[in-house]
Amino acid sequence: MRVTSLAMLISTAASAATDAREDDRERRDAVRHAVEAGDVLPLSQILPRLRGRIAGDVTGIDIERQRGRWRYEFRVIGRDGRVLEVYVDARSGEIERIDEK
């Protein structure tokens, strides 16, 4: 009984990992197509704008599509040590909001 349960658990975990990799691949493809279509500015254009407005070090970057719009989310550790979440419209490069964590 324990061996069967363990085998089922391992099988389920392996399946979930495969699904996660497939989701990541689909997400990367969607972002790449959005950049190619001009719906998303590449990081090489966004980062200099961000660094010009926010003093600190970027420690994390994510991009997601919400309500039909792409948005970058940057985690920044400010020069004063505060941790900031900076949300940037991926099409225009404009900072939408900054939250302190």
Model's pTM, two decimal places?
0.74
Per-residue pLDDT, 1: 45
Query: Using CA atoms, how far apart are residues 75 and 101, in angstroms rounded to an integer?
Result: 9
Q: 22 vs 10, 55, 83, CA distance in Å?
A: 18, 36, 31
The mean pLDDT of 12-19, rounded to a whole number, is 50
Query: Using CA atoms, how far apart are residues 84 and 72, in angstroms rounded to an integer?
Result: 13
The mean pLDDT of 6-11, rounded to a whole number, is 50
Q: How confident is the model at residue 101 (pLDDT cuts 50, 70, 90)?
A: confident
Per-residue pLDDT, 71: 97
**DSSP SS3 for 36:** helix
Per-residue pLDDT, 23: 74
Residue-wise pLDDT tens digits, 17-39: 455 566 788 888 999 999 999 99
Amino acid, single-letter form, for residue 101: K
Q: What is the DSSP string of 46-95?
A: HHHHHHHHS-EEEEEEEEEEETTEEEEEEEEEETTS-EEEEEEETTT--E
